[in-house]
Chains A and B, each alone.
Chain A
């Protein structure tokens, strides 16, 4: 499985409000769990998610350990022009993933 799952409509009418669904595979280890020997399992989470529409940031999120594993985030935007959505996830231990999706606006 690709690490990212993105759902963006392929086509939209100009001015239409579209829903964007994103999912990134990640353990989102909270840093509050212990092993059976009592050691703390170190935190390993995605801390930031950004979505850009033709280069301009339209949505951003700060994530905390209270976000469930494999962060699933959905939000909305107005389809203004044909182009690309770029998604970026940044996290602990140098985690960095990106994905993109194209849209045709008529």
Chain B
């Protein structure tokens, strides 16, 4: 079992439990600089996107279908690569990572999808334990941490049930538990409420906010505008391949969008 001892491993600038570094702590966790991405030459998805995400932020990424929300997240976990520009995660440029370093990047990320992506014929425990098994942690530690995280997402005592037998909301909680069990620096949620009814969506949003309270940076991609008005959170709108900050929710964003000219981004301003 790979315990992550590779010398080429991705090593973030600051990890949980590491000695406090005031310089690293002050740096943004995530920086997009002029990022371009196109799947077809005549239809670019991202066109010079610039954005900064500070450590511990909870950021909604929104925009119409095809605006590039999922692409932006896929670039982050290196499922796709940028055509131009760069993305810095904890000070490291993702595009410059070698293929063998990508797994080590992903160990610092937690990812939640709209379709949960659980192995349905496995138990809840097996699904949630996966990131810790990949890290090569001892079985006892894994049991303890999985138990703790299941309690945190409200699924205490449900560990031995098959993931496929749970309701949609419960499955998403399992997916969130799997995403946070390894205590990642950044949690990426790609339309995590897309398959849930409004009340369950709010529950999941609340859960992600609780996780954010513990210091985990959360990027929440959604096209569900009702969620954006529930809590006063930073909202980044993707439009025409660029990111625009709507700091006070979509009502403000709508007012700004009605004005002529491009909207300033927080990243661009910095």
Q: Do A and B form a real pair?
A: no
Q: Which residues of A contact B (CB under 8 A)?
A: none
